[in-house]
């Protein structure tokens, strides 16, 4: 019998309905329509096939990094290095095409996964909180990007064929969209149909219970960060292919956008709730916001401020305060 300082927490016999019964996804979808309507009213050009295509293409790209970010958030961390990784891969990819051609694809993918592995390692073995660790590695990656190429580097025209994979269009849809769908399917399969993916959710929901039940916390978290690295690498490759060139600054906006996509989509920072579908809608929403604000004529610089506000609101709504009585 210990007299706990924080008061007795006697078990209630009654059924306790958890306060967050409405899946946040519904809120996101509703927001999608409402805000979409607002933009349309602001400028009818918002709903044109061309513009919608732009929105969806960008959301496909954002989705790839957002899904990885979601994994790290689900296991209770965060990946602030995605920006640096996207930048680094974007220049590395272009630079590598000349010497090794198509092998640049797997090389960059492996590099991304490796970067994620290192992030996971620093978190799980060196035991540094992920937001500091990824802040550090993000900085390292950004400087590596500059080391590879301080200025934007263009792909030599005779090598354009290599990036046709991304720029072509099978099935009448832009390949970018298809790639996004493939990545989505990949993450869906991993998260819903593999034990490791399920473990990511278990850890997110209750890490102590997961540990006590024998789930390999180190392995699962490391894999989550590797998935984030994978997503960021794919984004770097895709962007460079689309623009026929790499740029060491291209990744900076992805940190904010990916976190916003995940959080606004309804995945809680406390882990447990949320999932792939949430992030899909979150990415669509962020892409729509990005596009809509420009189409409607809103100041480009104000957009970032609005994004910041949305992240704060998103976290406020989804953060499970019962889980963390002391908020640091």
Partner 1 sequence: MSDANNRRGGPVLALRQITKEFPGVVALDKVNLTIGRNELIGLVGENGAGKSVLMKIMIGLIPPDGGTISLHGQPVTLRSPGDAIRNGIGMVFQEGSLVPNLSVMENLFLCHEAGFRRLGILSLRSMRAAARELLAQLKLGIDVDLPVAEISPAERQMVEIARLLWLTKLYGHDNPVLILDEPTTVLADKERETLFTILREIKSRASIVLISHRLQEILENCDRIVVLKDGKNVTEMASSDARLQKIEQLMVGHSFSTDRFHEDEQRRRGEKEILRVENLGKAGQFQPLSFSVGEGEIVGLVGLVGSGKEEVCKCLAGLEKADSGSIFLDGKRLPAGSPRGSVRAGIGHIPIDRRSEGLALMMNVAENVNLLVLNRLKAGGFLSPGREKKNARHWVEECQIKTPSISTLCANLSGGNQQKTVISKWLSSRVRLLILDHPTRGVDVGAKDEIYKLMRKLAREGIGMLVMCDTLEEDIGLANRMLIMKDGRLVQEIGSAPKTKPDPKDIISLIV
Partner 2 sequence: MATMNGRSASLGRRLPAPVAMVGTWSRRTGILAQVLTLAIIVAGFALGTRGKYLSWANIQTILSLAAIPAILAIGLHLTVVLGGIDLSVQGVASLVAIFVGLLMKNQYNSHDVGLWIIPIALGIGGAAGLVNGVLNTRLRIPSFIATLGMSWVLYGMAVYINRAVNIQILDERIFKAINGMVLGIPNIAILALIVAIIMQFIQDRTQFGRYLYAIGGDEAVAQQGGVKVEKIKILVFTIAGIVYGLGAALLACRLGVATSRMGNSLLFPTITAVAVGGVALTGGLGGAKNAALGALIVTALNDGMVLMHVNPYAQQAVNGVVLIIAVALTLDRKKLGFIK
Asked if 259 and 62 touch (Cβ cutoff 8 Å), the reply is: no
Applying CB under 8 A, among 22, 79, 149, 211 the residue interacting with partner 1 is 211
Contact window for partner 1 (CB under 8 A) among 89-97, 98-106, 170-178, 185-193: 185-193
Question: Based on C-alpha coordinates, what's the Rg of the chain?
Answer: 21
Contact window for partner 1 (CB under 8 A) among 73-81, 99-107, 142-150, 203-211: 203-211
A 10 A CB-CB count for 266 gives 26
Picked from partner 2, partner 1, none, the partner binding residue 99 (CB below 5 to 8 A depending on kind) is none
127 scored as a contact of partner 1 (CB under 8 A): no
192 scored as a contact of partner 1 (CB under 8 A): yes
CA-based torsion, 286, 291, 292, 294: positive or negative: positive
How far, in Å, CA of 114 to CA of 120, rounded?
10
76: region left, alpha or beta (phi > 0 left; psi from -120 to 50 alpha): left
Picked from partner 1, partner 2, none, the partner binding residue 327 (CB below 5 to 8 A depending on kind) is partner 2
* Per-residue mark of binding to partner 1, 213-252 (x: CB under 8 A): xxxx------------------------------------
Applying CB under 8 A, among 30, 185, 189, 302 the residue interacting with partner 1 is 189
Apex CA 204: angle with CA 200 and CA 205, to 5°? 120
Give the interface with partner 2 as residue ranges (CB under 8 A).
5-6, 76-77, 122-124, 126-133, 135-140, 142-144, 146-147, 150, 207-208, 211, 217, 256, 269, 299, 301-309, 311-312, 315-316, 319, 321, 324, 326-328
The residue assigned the tokens 């019962």 is 322
Strand partners, 153: 246
Picked from partner 1, partner 2, none, the partner binding residue 269 (CB below 5 to 8 A depending on kind) is partner 2
A 10 A CB-CB count for 44 gives 10
Our measurement of the distance from residue 250's CA atom to the centroid of its chain's CA atoms, rounded to an integer in Å, reads 16
């Amino acid at each position: 019998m210990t007299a706990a300082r924080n008061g007795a927490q006697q078990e209630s016999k009654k059924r306790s309905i958890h306060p967050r019964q409405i899946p946040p996804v519904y809120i996101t979808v509703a927001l999608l329509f409402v805000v979409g309507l607002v933009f349309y009213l602001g400028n009818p050009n918002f709903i044109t096939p061309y513009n919608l295509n732009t929105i969806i293409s960008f959301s496909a790209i954002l989705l790839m990094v957002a899904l990885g970010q979601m994994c790290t958030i689900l296991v209770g961390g965060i990946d602030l290095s995605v920006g640096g990784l996207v930048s680094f891969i974007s220049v590395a990819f272009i630079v590598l095409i000349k010497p090794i051609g198509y092998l640049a694809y797997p090389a960059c993918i492996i590099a991304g996964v490796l970067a994620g592995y290192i992030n996971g390692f620093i978190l799980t073995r060196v035991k540094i909180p992920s937001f500091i660790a990824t802040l550090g590695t993000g900085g390292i990656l950004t400087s590596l990007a500059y080391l590879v190429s301080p200025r934007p580097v263009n792909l030599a025209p005779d090598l354009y064929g290599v990036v046709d994979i991304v720029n072509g269009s099978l099935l009448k849809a832009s390949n970018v969209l298809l790639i996004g769908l493939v990545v989505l399917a990949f993450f869906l399969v991993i998260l819903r149909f593999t034990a490791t993916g399920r473990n990511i959710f278990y850890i997110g929901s209750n890490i102590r219970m997961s540990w006590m039940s024998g789930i390999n916390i180190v392995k699962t978290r490391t894999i989550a960060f590797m998935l984030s690295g994978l997503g960021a690498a794919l984004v770097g490759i895709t962007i460079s292919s689309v623009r026929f060139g790499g740029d060491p600054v291209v990744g900076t906006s992805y940190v904010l956008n990916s976190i916003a996509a995940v959080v606004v989509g309804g995945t809680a920072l406390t882990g447990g709730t949320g999932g792939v579908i949430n992030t899909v809608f979150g990415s669509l929403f962020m892409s729509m916001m990005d596009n809509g604000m420009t189409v409607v004529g809103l100041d480009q610089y104000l957009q970032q401020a609005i994004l910041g506000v949305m992240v704060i609101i998103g976290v406020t709504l989804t953060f499970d305060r019962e889980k963390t009585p002391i908020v640091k």
